[in-house]
Amino acid sequence: MSAVVVACCQIALRVAEVEANRACAVAAIEDAAARGARVVVLPELVNSGYVFADRDEAAALAEPLDGPTVTAWAALARAHGLVVVGGVCERADGGTLRNTAVLVDRDGLRAAYRKAHLWDREVLAFAPGAEPPPVVATAAGRIGLVVCYDLEFPEWVRLPALAGAELLCAPVNWPRAARPPEGERPGEVVRVQAAASSNRMWIAACDRVRAERGVSWLGASVIVDPDGFPAAGPASEDDEELLLATCDLALARDKAIGERNDVLADRRPELYGSVAAHG
């Protein structure tokens, strides 16, 4: 079946409160499963929180991918027949810290993607990833992974589309900037809508809420269809919320936009070399 219920669990996290953060995520996953979700998306850096005092604090909060956070998500995925995507502060080989998104399903850990485009002070704690976004064939469909700031690079989002992603899951921590003009959506949401439309794939971007060490989060989690329109959300900018959308992932396999045009087939990469080469 190509129609699946996708959930974004917009939750409140606290930096350095690892046990509370894990419990919050587990409760959100269980709630989503009880309400029919088969793909559950969580925010970025769920286990640790985001606003670290320094790299040493990030290192103290990090854990390996076989640690308690991912292990708990895998157990829930197995018990409920879910695909779970979420962000973790990872302690990788040699003690390297990574801002990582994982995908787990009933078979356990299927993919780990290390964020390639680091935002602001993240560069003081994390090493950037160097591998393209993975696309995983799951029981729910073909699912790709990116993290937050990666969404602002059209070339990067195009890669999972070219690899056959039907749904792109993006754990995010969107810091709140100036509020948009009345009646306008936040720029982060607009960019997700544009990426979904230009690649004709579903995108689920899951944010967090509430302030942390002086940083406020945007909220506004959203699930967007291949035409670029929200199927659920944007969520509240202040409150925890569970977004649910029934997504026909088969729609993302059709890249046509009319009788004569196709968003992938119409590309002319021989003309775009300078875009990638320019630096």
| Residue 35 and residue 243 in contact, taking contact as beta carbons nearer than 8 Å | no
9 labelled catalytic: no
- Residue 179's Cβ-count burial label (10 Å; 0-12, 13-18, 19+) is exposed
In the set 9, 148, 206, 247, the catalytic residue is: 148
115 labelled catalytic: yes
- Residue 260's Cβ-count burial label (10 Å; 0-12, 13-18, 19+) is exposed
| Residue 196 and residue 226 in contact, taking contact as beta carbons nearer than 8 Å | yes
Q: What is the DSSP letter of 256?
A: B
In the set 90, 115, 166, 247, the catalytic residue is: 115
In the set 8, 44, 89, 169, the catalytic residue is: 44
Q: Token digits for 119? A: 């935002």
122 labelled catalytic: no
| Residue 168 and residue 136 in contact, taking contact as beta carbons nearer than 8 Å | no
ω into residue 234 within 30 of 0, thus cis? yes
| Residue 159 and residue 132 in contact, taking contact as beta carbons nearer than 8 Å | yes
Closest CA to 103 of 117, 120, 85, 77: 85
Report, as residue numbers or ranges, the catalytic residues: 44, 115, 148
